[in-house]
Amino acid sequence: MKKNSLLSSILNKIQHVSIAMALLDAAIIAGSYFFALMIRFDFHYSWIDRYYTTGYASVIIWYILIDVIMLHMFHLYQSVWKFAGVYELLRSVYAWVFAQVGVFVVYLITDVQMPVSFYIIGGLLSFGFTTMVRFMYRALSVFKDYGVSDDAIVERVMVIGAGAAGREIIQEYMHSTSLKAKVFCVVDDDARLVKKYINGVPIEGTREDIPDLANKYDINKIILAIPSAPKRVQKEILDICSSTSCRVQTIPGVYQLLNGTVSIKNLRDVDVEDLLGRDTVETDLSKIGNFIKGKVVMVTGGGGSIGSELCRQVAEKQPKALIIFDIFEGNAYWIQLELKKKYGNSLNLITLIGSVRNMSRLDSIMDEYKPDIIFHAAA
């Protein structure tokens, strides 16, 4: 009963907001076309011929109905404008175009001939103001939710990489009020991007500027957000970061970028493997799929960049069991979470923590699980 009551309350609230927006749109549309008529006659109401005022009164209800119906058809009353973007803008344009077709139909069937400027200016103003009102809400929401106050900031963050991963990280920090952190600057090796902005955060320089920028902004945390860059490049940048006193974190890998799971929750501290500078091997297990199927497979270093990709490909081949073995619990946790989400109970997944140098630990694993195949990807 409580769930039904809560759901009804939410639906009623959404319905009331939609009705309020529709009424606001109606007022904007009526005002826009009246304003267009006033512009035509230099803002002298007394100059407007009675034919035009009567014509305005007879067609404006139709215009309002057409616009509101189109906005509804393109789901603009159901959009969450706090997170609006290009998609909502495009739908607003489509709704406006179809609404203008409707206005033309009204012109044909009513035979009311208003000044040409009435249609052009009125249509443009109605589109501009109905869209602006919605994106003003988006802008106010961003301003309201933007990070935390300077007094509450604990982590002063620098993001390395102005690509998709970097943008995702910045956006998540912007909307978070619980992290007590703020991104102060971005670094990217593309010199053409320097002095530009991502979500209001300045791109201040290239990798050579990292130490100076860390001092300038009093940075205490650096996030490496270039998962698609070669390991050699990442290592060079990490070497520069090591000259600062900042905590350095990175996202797990390019797979998370492609899978849409780039998030602050996925950040991990830089480990030894990141500093080795090894390029990810393009592993292809398709030719030995039958060999893996029904076998107990163990991957050492299963949470690393190479090991995690091996785990993904092994999981596809229907092993009897997949053992993820890694010295870092955090790394193993993320690949385990990913595979559980994808395969559920259909994959017998075993996650073990330990070092390949600990022979007694390895012996106990061999005795207990008796793996048929072992892929060694540990550093």
> 50 Cβ partners below 8 Å, 6+ apart?
none
Alpha helices in the chain (DSSP H): 2-40, 50-73, 86-110, 116-145, 164-175, 210-216, 231-241, 254-258, 272-276, 289-292, 305-316, 329-343, 359-369
- Residue 194 sits at the vertex; the CA angle it makes with 190 and 200, to the nearest 5 degrees, is 120
The verdict on pTM exceeding 0.85 is no
Cβ–Cβ under 8 Å, residues 238 and 160: no
Domains contained in the chain, CATH given: 2-144 (no CATH), 150-276 (3.40.50.720), 286-376 (3.40.50.720)
Q: Which residues of the chain have pLDDT under 50?
A: 1-4, 6-7, 10-11, 13-14, 254-262, 272, 277, 279-281
What is residue 64's predicted lDDT score, i.e. its pLDDT?
A: 94
Pairing between β-strand 349-353 and β-strand 321-326 as defined by DSSP bridges? parallel
Best CA proximity match to 238, nearest among 307, 161, 290, 162: 161
SS3 (DSSP) at 183: strand
b/e sequence 108-123, b meaning 16+ C-beta within 10 Å: eeeebebbeebbebbb
Which residue carries 């500078």 as its tokens? 277
What is residue 101's predicted lDDT score, i.e. its pLDDT?
A: 94
Which residue carries 């009526």 as its tokens? 30
What is residue 186's predicted lDDT score, i.e. its pLDDT?
A: 95
